[in-house]
Amino acid sequence: MATVLEADHVKKYFPTGASKWLLRPTDQVLAVDDVSFKLEAGTTLGVVGESGCGKSTLGRVLAMLLKPTDGSVRLNGVDLATLNERDLNQVRRDIQFVFQDPYACLNPRHSIGESIATPMKVQKTHDKQGRRQRVQELMELVGLNPEHFNRFPHEFSGGQRQRVGIARALALNPKIIVADEPVSALDVSIQSQILNLLEGLQNDFGLSYVFIAHDLAVVRHIADEVAVMYLGKFVEYGDATSIYKTPRHPYTKALMSAAPVADPKIGRERKRIMLTGDVPSPVNPPSGCRFRTRCWKATDQCAEVEPQLVEVVPGHRVACHYPES
Amino acid sequence: MIYFVIRRLLFAVVLLFVVSFFTYVLFTALPTNPAALTCGKNCTPEVIARNEVRLGYDQPIHVQYGRFLKGIFAGRTYGPEGASVHCPAPALGYSFEYHECVTDLITRTFPVTLSVAIGAFVLWMGIGVGLGTLAALRRGRWQDRFATTFSVVGISLPTFFFALLAILVIVIWGGLLDFPQYTGFTENPIKWFSGLLLPWATLAILSASTYVRLTRNGILEVMNEEFVRLGLAKGVKRRTLIIKYVMRAAMVPIVTIAGLDFAALLGGAVITESVFNLPGMGKLSIRAVTDSDLPVLVATTLVAAVLIVVANAVVDILYGFLDPRVREKV
Amino acid sequence: MSTPLISIRDLHVSFHTQDGVVKAVDGVSFDVMPGETLGIVGESGSGKSVTANAIMRLNFGTQVDVSGEIIMNGKNLLEVDDDELRTLRGRQMAMVFQDPLTALNPFYTVGNQIAEAYLIHHPKATKSEVREIVLNAMVKVGIPEPTKRMDSYPHEFSGGMRQRIVIAIALVNNPQLLIADEPTTALDVTVQAQILELIGTLQEEYGSAVMLITHDLGVIAETADRVMVMYAGHAVELANVDELFETPTHPYTVGLLGSVHSLDDSSRGALQTISGTPPSLINLPTGCAFHPRCRFELGENSLCRTEAPQLHAVGKSRSACHLPESQLLQIGAKGGV
Ligand SMILES: Nc1ncnc2c1ncn2[C@@H]1O[C@H](COP(=O)(O)OP(=O)(O)O)[C@@H](O)[C@H]1O
Ligand SMILES: Nc1ncnc2c1ncn2[C@@H]1O[C@H](COP(=O)(O)OP(=O)(O)O)[C@@H](O)[C@H]1O
Ligand code: SF4
Ligand SMILES: [Mg+2]
Ligand SMILES: [Mg+2]
């Protein structure tokens, strides 16, 4: 299989806070801190973790909406940092972004037809007639009534607006779609509709997805590989089946254990790992292993030595000094 | 917070220098020759040229500005030798139109402007916030409609129109009040009050209209906040709820805007003072414009600018004290 | 069977909006028993929050009509006057809201806000008593270093900690009924687990009844004793929690359970869905509000399209569906988890 997208030691830091005297801030949010992975054509990488762990920031860096502070992103083997503005624009077509709340990024005064056509207009890929035709084609594809192209966003439900967002992302025939919590704001019955749609599109067009979510069960359905993020780092990364069957990082285990199960009998019987406290600040992450402040297995070593992401079984990496077996 | 206060004040000081410099430069670059004002009718080109040198208007602008600044801190002597005048610090210039130190002119006119501003401010905050609150609490009823009408009408009426109308109706037809006239507060408080009532009302109507809307919308917005619902769910009394929850939150932005508006008013209510013939700073600066009285113009503009800069700093700091969320962040 | 703590009968709530009358709650009846947890589940817009707010009478404004009965301790809450209502709010029934980030007054310290909740109903309490109560409440909900933290402002706490403070406020007067409207929806799963456990522990300790509103069937399964399923302003099913998940007796519940994703379900194939979207509450479909999306609907001119089904006994549960009992039980047995 061919690698379509590759992240190599990607970092994204944001300056934050005001210094005491000068206007220049002194602190940095380590939003994404040294992340590497490879995405194969036609597969899905699911990225999970609690809020504030850097998932969206990673997604934006991958979709070229943000420049990485350090490290490189390679699209079809080409390092994006080496491209000039014109070539970048060209490759931008290949990677598209789907937002959590499509309402926030659809112009309320534009009909959804116009919104879907925007990328084609910006990239000048179709003439007016072509755009119109393509919009209707896309609407059909994502399960919207093509006759509704001149309706406005507020006339659609949340699920339908997400379909609009997906249609727009598909407009330029991308190879990769980065979807940031595309179903988190939707009701379960609608979530399933959107997930089915995404899977159908993947099969039909050989798309690759980076699928960001905080809900492990949603990712379970769509991902081939899973990355669990904690405070800007991948703490566990690898084959989805392997991770869901035998989570090896204590954080992954705790996340899975915390997710409520829609079955009262199982729910009553199982013993839950209860994490204490919240995610620490990404401005001053804990030394050594960043999870140690909430980890029930932490020792002195965890405070001193940062665990590296190492392959424990083929296709399954963990960054923990005491991985579960 | 303490760092923020110090930083903010330092910034204000720097800003003051910048603002004063530009004000000075801007007016000095005007095509009128300030030296021409020094000699009145017996001006000849030679006299003007001589006075130009004596007064320092021939110097490069940064030297002039330097002297001006020095005058503020140390006092300054103006005019040709023999007929020279000394203005003690803070000297903002010497007006050959009035034959007076500008500082004296300003200390004489400022109380008038201050009186106008304070009264108008009290009135407009009272009407604006009061009516706005009433409108919000009685949303959709006649009180609300009255307030909305008031604010639309108030905003669309030009100040001078309202002022003239007030004079016509109340003074000339009604004979209810004497023509507005300034009397010092310390001289006769009652006359001070009655003499300023119309100017206050004139200024207040306009601003109050804006504040009615601000207050009403602010309160309605806060009333939809979840914490207000939690207050209700706790069993908080309606009165307490409105004061402690709604007003407390709604007033923070309004207080800060009001601070800036008040400062702007202190710089001189030009139209109102002219229409009612009040010897305030606004009138002083208008006359300075028509007379091309540069020193006065520079000084009044500068005072107004200083007031705004100071008010901005005060409001920013105040904001930090009023809102714990801001306090923390800065 | 003991007497209900609170009985809701034929509750209707409608909002007059520019577009028309929104029938947010359209004839809902249910009881909450002392000490139990009643879960209310449904998609967004199904009227869960409006129902909760009606009980606390928080649907203020002139543009809303509320009718029906809400009986608590022999009184109809919809008829008591404002003064009496205030003595009930926060004392006999308390509420926890969805978004802990906006639920606390940003201008007062958390200690002050917990104290206020106590003082409203105990105006004669002395300062030191109140302080004691506040500290105690903060310890109970698991705020570390309460003596130090009571003087902090809400924004100095994380979302989870703020929700703990909202719970402390709700429970400081030991109310008989706690209404929690999506108390964990805005929180991360790990924090959600903490908060749900906290509510459970405190409920046991105080013996309060809890009305837990959520859209998450997982949360329902883990917390509720009984469940009411809402759809478009109607109660479509009322069942014990085990029954509901084992044999759902309404086509909507069946569809809802079917579309839940589960952690150990690795099937990559198409997920079950309920086709279509919830109806407009201004123009509700005739008959059963669910019929346009229902797979089992009886067709043209059938009861499904002409008559609104009422809750009635089906198996051990109560369901509002026109299908014969035997068919419903069969669908449920197949479609349930
Ligand atoms: N533009 C930004 N400026 C400063 N900090 C940011 C910015 N965007 C995100 N962050 C911070 O980076 C961290 C990671 O954020 P995000 O990527 O949104 O996490 P997630 O999507 O996992 O919730 C957070 O602490 C967030 O506050
Ligand atoms: N104040 C209001 N004015 C108009 N419509 C409202 C108002 N409050 C709620 N609604 C409508 O009532 C319906 C039910 O809302 P709600 O009870 O909040 O649903 P949920 O089940 O998600 O909690 C929604 O369609 C909502 O738009
Ligand atoms: S009454 Fe009819 S339409 Fe409604 S849920 Fe039952 S079968 Fe479906
Ligand atoms: Mg995010
Ligand atoms: Mg709700």
CATH number for position A93: 3.40.50.300
- The closest alpha carbon to A134, from A120, A153, A145, A124, belongs to A120
CATH for B104-329?
A: 1.10.3720.10
DSSP A149: T
Both tokens of A79, joined, read 């390092």
Q: What is the mean pLDDT of residues B140-168?
A: 80
- Centre of ligand 2 to C-alpha B83, Å, is 82
Residue B41 clears pLDDT 80, i.e. is over it: no
If one counts every other C-beta atom within 10 angstroms of the C-beta of residue C49, the result is 21
- Centre of ligand 1 to C-alpha A29, Å, is 8
Cβ–Cβ gap C103/B233 under 8 Å? no
Residue with CA closest to ligand 1 atom 6: A14
Burial class (CB in 10 A: 0-12, 13-18, 19+), C13: buried
Closest-lying ligand 3 atom to the alpha carbon of residue C251 = 5
DSSP A109: T
The per-residue pLDDT of chain B, averaged, comes to 81
| Beta carbons of C41 and C241 less than 8 angstroms apart | no
| Ligand 2 in reach of C173 Cβ (< 6 A) | no
Cβ–Cβ gap C265/A267 under 8 Å? no
Kindly list the residues from chain C whose CB atom is less than 8 angstroms away from the CB atom of residue B144.
none
Burial class (CB in 10 A: 0-12, 13-18, 19+), B268: buried
Which residues lie closer than 8 Å to B317 by C-beta, 6 or more apart? B4, B5, B8
Rounded Cα distance between A299 and C226, Å, is: 43
To 10 degrees, the CA torsion angle through C31, C33, C39, C40?
20
Rounded Cα distance between B165 and B275, Å, is: 11
Half-sphere exposure of B199 (CA within 13 A, CB side): 33
Both tokens of B253, joined, read 């932005």
Residue B86 φ then ψ, to 5° = -110, 130
Give the bridge partners for B318, in sequence order.
none
Choose which residue among C21, C26, C50, C182 to substitute to test ligand 2 binding: the one with the highest number of ligand atoms within 8 A of its C-beta. C50
| Ligand 2 in reach of C46 Cβ (< 6 A) | yes
Residue B32 clears pLDDT 70, i.e. is over it: no
Choose which residue among C231, C284, C294, C326 to substitute to test ligand 3 binding: the one with the highest number of ligand atoms within 8 A of its C-beta. C294
CATH fold for the domain made of C6-224: Rossmann fold (3.40.50)
| Ligand 2 in reach of C14 Cβ (< 6 A) | no
Q: How far is CA B107 from the centre of its chain?
A: 15
Rounded Cα distance between B268 and B285, Å, is: 8
The per-type count for chain B, helices as H runs and strands as E runs, is 14, 4
Query: Which other chains touch chain A, taking contact as 3+ CB pairs less than 8 Å apart?
Result: B, C
Residue with CA closest to ligand 2 atom 27: C45
- Coil, strand or helix: which one is A259? coil
| pLDDT score for C337 | 44
Positions of chain A with pLDDT under 70: 1, 17-26
Q: Is residue A238 part of a domain?
A: yes
SS3 of C70-109? EEECCEECCCCCHHHHHHHECCCEEEECCCHHHHCCCCCC
Which B positions 2-21 lie with beta carbon below 8 A of chain A? 3, 7
| Beta carbons of A302 and A293 less than 8 angstroms apart | no
- Centre of ligand 5 to C-alpha C273, Å, is 22
Residue with CA closest to ligand 1 atom 8: A57
- Alpha helices in C4-73, H assignment, sequence order: 48-56
| Beta carbons of C93 and C179 less than 8 angstroms apart | yes
Shortest distance between the Cα of B14 and any Cα of chain A, in A, equals: 14
- Centre of ligand 3 to C-alpha C288, Å, is 6
- Centre of ligand 1 to C-alpha A30, Å, is 9
Question: Which residues in chain C are classed under CATH 3.40.50.300?
Answer: 6-224
| Beta carbons of C275 and C255 less than 8 angstroms apart | no
Choose which residue among C22, C59, C284 to substitute to test ligand 2 binding: the one with the highest number of ligand atoms within 8 A of its C-beta. C22
If one counts every other C-beta atom within 10 angstroms of the C-beta of residue A20, the result is 10
Cis before A108? omega within 30? no
- To which residue do tokens 């803070």 refer? B90
Rounded Cα distance between B184 and C197, Å, is: 71
Both tokens of C2, joined, read 């003991």
| Ligand 3 in reach of C309 Cβ (< 6 A) | yes
Read off the pLDDT of residues B238-273 as tens digits, 9 standing for 90 and up: 889 999 899 989 988 898 888 888 888 887 677 778
Kindly list the residues from chain B whose CB atom is less than 8 angstroms away from the CB atom of residue C118.
none
Mutate one of C201, C243, C263 to test the A interface: name it (highest A CB count within 10 A).
C263
- Please give the model's pTM, rounded to 2 decimal places: 0.86
**Nearest chain B residue to C87, by CA:** B235
Shortest distance between the Cα of B248 and any Cα of chain C, in A, equals: 8
What ipTM score was computed for the predicted complex, to two decimals?
A: 0.87
CA distances from C89 to B194, C84, C121, C126, C133 (A): 51, 9, 9, 22, 19
| pLDDT score for B312 | 86
Residue with CA closest to ligand 1 atom 25: A52
Residue B22 φ then ψ, to 5° = -65, -40
- Coil, strand or helix: which one is C196? helix
Helix (H) or strand (E) holding A313: strand A310-313
If one counts every other C-beta atom within 10 angstroms of the C-beta of residue B200, the result is 22
Q: Is residue A324 part of a domain?
A: no
Q: What is the mean pLDDT of residues B11-21?
A: 85
Q: Is residue A325 part of a domain?
A: no
Closest-lying ligand 1 atom to the alpha carbon of residue A232 = 14
Closest-lying ligand 2 atom to the alpha carbon of residue C48 = 21
Cα angle C102, C106, C110 (rounded to 5 degrees) comes to: 100
- The closest alpha carbon to C180, from C70, C110, C99, belongs to C99
Cβ–Cβ gap C188/A263 under 8 Å? no
What distance, in Å, lies between the first and last C-alpha atoms of chain C?
Answer: 29
Closest-lying ligand 3 atom to the alpha carbon of residue C322 = 1
Both tokens of A262, joined, read 């829609």
Domain of residue A258 covers: 3-17+26-318
Q: Is residue A323 part of a domain?
A: no
| Beta carbons of C87 and C121 less than 8 angstroms apart | yes
Kindly list the residues from chain A whose CB atom is less than 8 angstroms away from the CB atom of residue B330.
18
| Beta carbons of A167 and A116 less than 8 angstroms apart | yes
Helix (H) or strand (E) holding C15: strand C6-17
Kindly list the residues from chain B whose CB atom is less than 8 angstroms away from the CB atom of residue C106.
227, 249, 323-325
Helix (H) or strand (E) holding B181: none
Cα angle C79, C82, C83 (rounded to 5 degrees) comes to: 120
| pLDDT score for B294 | 79
Cα angle C8, C13, C16 (rounded to 5 degrees) comes to: 170
Go through C187-225 and write b for each residue having 16 or more CB atoms within 10 A of its CB, e for each that does not.
bbbbbbbbbbebbeebbeeeebbbbbbbbbbbbbbbbbb
pLDDT in single tens digits along all 337 residues of chain C: 589 999 999 999 999 988 899 999 999 999 999 999 999 999 989 999 999 999 999 876 668 899 999 999 999 999 999 899 999 999 999 999 988 889 999 999 999 999 999 999 999 999 999 999 999 999 999 898 999 999 999 999 988 899 999 999 999 999 999 999 999 988 899 999 999 999 999 999 989 999 999 999 999 999 999 999 999 999 999 999 999 999 999 999 999 998 887 777 656 666 778 888 889 899 999 999 999 999 999 988 899 999 999 999 999 999 999 999 999 999 988 764 4
Number of domains in chain A: 1
CA distances from B205 to A244, A283, B149, B163 (A): 69, 50, 12, 10
Closest-lying ligand 3 atom to the alpha carbon of residue C291 = 3
**Nearest chain A residue to B10, by CA:** A21
Cβ–Cβ gap B227/C62 under 8 Å? no
Kindly list the residues from chain A whose CB atom is less than 8 angstroms away from the CB atom of residue B326.
none
Domain ranges of chain B: 2-102, 104-329
